[in-house]
Amino acid sequence: MIEDELARWRAADAIFDGLLDLPAPEREAALAAMALEPAVVAHVRRLLQAHGRDDGPLDPAGPDARLEGRRIGRWVLEDEIGRGGMSVVYRARTDEGGETRVAAIKLLTIGALVAGGADRFRREQAILARLQHPHIASLVDCGVAEDGTPWLAMPLVEGEPIDAWCDSRGLGAAARVGLMLDVCDAVAYAHRNLVIHRDIKPSNVLVDREGYVRLLDFGIGGLLERRQAGMTLTRMLAWTPQYAAPEQFQLAPASTAMDVYGLGALLYRLLAGRPPREGRPDGEPLVLPSRACREADGAAPAQREAMARALRGDLDAIVLKALADDPDDRYRSPDALARDLKAWLHDRPVRARGAGNLYRLQCFLRRNRAVALVTAALALVLGSMLGATLWQAAQAERAAQRSAAARDLLASLVVPEDPGAAALASRDALAVAADRVRAEHAEPGQRAALLHLLGELQWRSGDAAGARAQLLEAQALGREARLPADDRRASLALLGRIELEAGRGREAAEWLSRAQAEGRPAQAEALGLVTQRCVALSLQGDAAATDDCIAEARRWLQGAPDPLAGDTLRALSMAELLLGRPRDALGHVDAAEARARAAGEAPGSRARTLADALRLLARAGLGESDAVAATALSHRLPALAAGEDQALAWLALAAQAGLRGDAAAQAAALAPFDAGFPDGPPAPLARLRERVLAPHTPP
């Protein structure tokens, strides 16, 4: 009996020690979530009540009593900026060598020292000392004050918790996922350095005014050693229940799977508007994020519905996989979670959904908007059937037949179930399909639509010559069948793109001009055609014609939404770089960056990462080296889609390495660039590669 009571007090003491890591208002909820024996809960509450009588400002001689102006090491403390159950954080400043630096100084409280928190604090110092990553608030300085109080200094992150930052700006799903990629990258880096975090939650992920993410507070983190004999009950319990993995409640040894769950819980909060466990009884299945989003408070109904549509399907599946109760059912690593998030951003199949043919076909159509638009355009039914003339009915029937034929053709080209394989058949299969189209479809309009579709697929498979042949035939048949201008324009535009990639700038510009003259393209399509023509003319070296084209693009930019304007300005900067005008390119990049910020794009987003790459290329052209920006780009590069996006970033890194005279780093950057294009890169990228390798000559 006495032994049982002693065991209860020992358990209560350890749990009490862990609860001290939490702010006082959160301790009761954390205790309730542990499902402990009632006698143990009662003992813990007595300890908390006793502690609460001394948990205001601590002893005046202690470290957290009016410390403004006190010197800690080489730092002078200013105002208090944060307080937890075990520590207090101050803004601090140091002046050395005429340079002023600011930092956040974290000091242990007297209560923490008494409760054995000094060991945990020293562990945090050791962990931060080994972590140097752009998205981790790493160690700047550390030491022990004259009164024996341990302290550490970290970069001062003047930001908001990631959930508040996203909500206050009304960010969409893509921007929130972009920020999560930075968090995943930071956690993956920690794991590679044998460190786990164990308390991933919004308040430990801050975003500054520039949209830059920092992961904080490795105070309860641990080192992934072969044995964890030193893992105490206190350390096991020092986490936040709403974001903790189920095995943490069972006091399981720390593992990377806990952090994967924490990332999933954070992602759930960002997308659904509340933590996954909020209001969820034990054992009840998680509510889908898309459903929880509709029920969330705060946002306008239209905004909630738009977010729910974005979450439905892929993001729901990704979040649920990360939050699986069984660690073996979760993603194996933060990198694996990030790969699925990137796949969603780029409309590619996600592993959480499986690899069915129909699902992969849907992803392909989302990713390849032009193909989807062709198919959709062919499916239009002209007017109300009640008032339709016989001619309209015949046209509608032919359009429906073309649409059905296009769907059948696409479905026949989807290969079986290997999720890592390409979603479409080989070049040989596409050639066979083209022969079948000519044999089975005599009606010119239907044949034109299918040949255009096959031409696009051949182009995407790398068969530019085969694609060109199909598109030329489709273009001629489209005129004969009097297909809508949108369909004829699609074939002309793709012919221009093929010539551009082949380096035939003059021919590309001609096809693109014809495409723009076909019908009345909408602003977005017109801007795409004009900017491609600018790049084609610059590739040809025709500066005067390029300037005229850029002026035309600027006219089309009037009133363009920020994301579209940003895409256009980045393309114009590419044209300037091809002409050897880096200063003008830099002006376009700065304008694109301003548009991206206005659109709420986070620094890790595709738009801003591409802008960073173009800026580094332009600065290299001006002879300006920026090692810090190059390092940041190298960490963000995985957020870009493989292919031309990543290739541009590799070129930027190679250009900066060459400017520094670092031949090894330049070769290392060019290797993945070259590997990405076994048959050679598109002509604009090939031309930029030549400029990167050429000796620098000031403009």
Side-chain-facing half-sphere of 571: CA atoms under 13 Å: 23
* Span 474-499, pLDDT tens digits: 888 877 777 777 778 888 888 999 99
Beta strands 150-154 and 99-108: pairing type? antiparallel
Structure tokens at 345: 């951003």
Between 112 and 385, the higher pLDDT residue: 112
Mean pLDDT on 140-161: 79
Average pLDDT over residues 46-71: 55
Burial class of residue 425, CB neighbours in 10 A (0-12, 13-18, 19+) = middle
Range 160-353 classified under CATH 1.10.510.10: yes
Q: Which residues are catalytic?
A: 199
Cβ neighbours of residue 99 under 8 Å, at least 6 residues apart? none
Q: What is the pLDDT of residues 325-362, one digit of tens each?
A: 899 899 999 999 998 898 888 877 888 776 554 455 55
d(CA 657, CA 10): 59
Q: What are phi and psi of 137, to 5 degrees?
A: -75, 95
Rounded-to-integer distance, Cα 497 and Cα 122, Å: 59
Tokens 């813990």 belong to 44
pLDDT of residue 277: 74
State the pLDDT at residue 235.
Answer: 41
Q: Is the pLDDT reported for residue 391 higher than 70?
A: no
pLDDT for residue 444: 77
Q: What is the mean pLDDT of residues 684-688?
A: 90
Per the model's pLDDT, the better-predicted residue between 629 and 429 turns out to be 629
Supply the pTM of this predicted model. Answer: 0.50
Number of H helices, E strands in the chain: 31, 11
User: How wide is the angle at C-alpha 292 spanned by C-alphas 236 and 419, nearest 5°?
Assistant: 80
Q: Which segment of 21-30, 175-184, 338-347, 497-506 scores lowest on mean pLDDT?
A: 21-30
The pLDDT score that the predictor gives to residue 552 is 93
What are the pLDDT digits (tens) for 244-299? 888 877 777 778 899 999 999 999 999 988 888 765 545 567 888 888 887 766 66
Architecture of domain 71-154: 2-Layer Sandwich (3.30)
Average pLDDT, the chain: 75
Indicate whether 379 pLDDT > 80: no
Res 514 pLDDT > 70: yes
Euclidean distance between the first and the last CA atom of the chain, given in angstroms as a whole number: 87
d(CA 688, CA 699): 16
